[in-house]
């Protein structure tokens, strides 16, 4: 939680490497607004969905990239 709130606690810009580009965000479970179903998922299922290309908010396949870091908030 401290990484999420550090921009509120410290003044100035906290960019460790501003040359990094093309951040990808994934959501799991990704459901439509009209979906009224409640599905209970396990942690491994959520993690698998998080790295699925269908759950990314961009048109890129995460299997073909390189990662400097990743963050998962459950």
Alpha carbons 53 and 58: distance in angstroms, whole number: 9
Query: Could you tell me which residues are beta bridge partners of residue 56?
Result: 26
pTM score over 0.75: no
Domain annotation covers residue 44:
yes
Q: Which of 24, 19, 30 is nearest to 67 (CA)?
A: 24
pLDDT along the chain (74 residues), means of 10: 67 68 77 75 88 83 78 78
pLDDT for residue 53: 85
Evaluate whether residue 2 is within a structural domain.
no
Are 49 and 30 in contact by the 8 Å Cβ rule? The answer is yes
pLDDT, residue 58, reads 81
Domain containing residue 64: 17-74
Domain membership of residue 54 (yes or no) is yes
CATH number of the domain residue 50 falls in:
3.30.1330.20
pLDDT at 15: 64
Residue at 11 is within a domain? no
Count of domains observed in the chain: 1
Domain contains 41: yes
Indicate whether 21 belongs to any domain: yes
């Amino acid at each position: 939680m401290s990484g999420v709130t550090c921009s509120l606690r410290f003044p100035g810009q906290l960019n460790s490497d501003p040359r990094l580009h093309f951040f990808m965000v994934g959501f799991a479970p990704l459901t439509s607004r009209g979906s009224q179903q409640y599905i209970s998922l396990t942690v491994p299922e959520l993690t698998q969905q998080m790295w699925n290309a269908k759950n990314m908010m961009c048109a890129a396949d995460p299997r073909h990239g390189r990662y400097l870091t990743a963050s998962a908030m459950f």
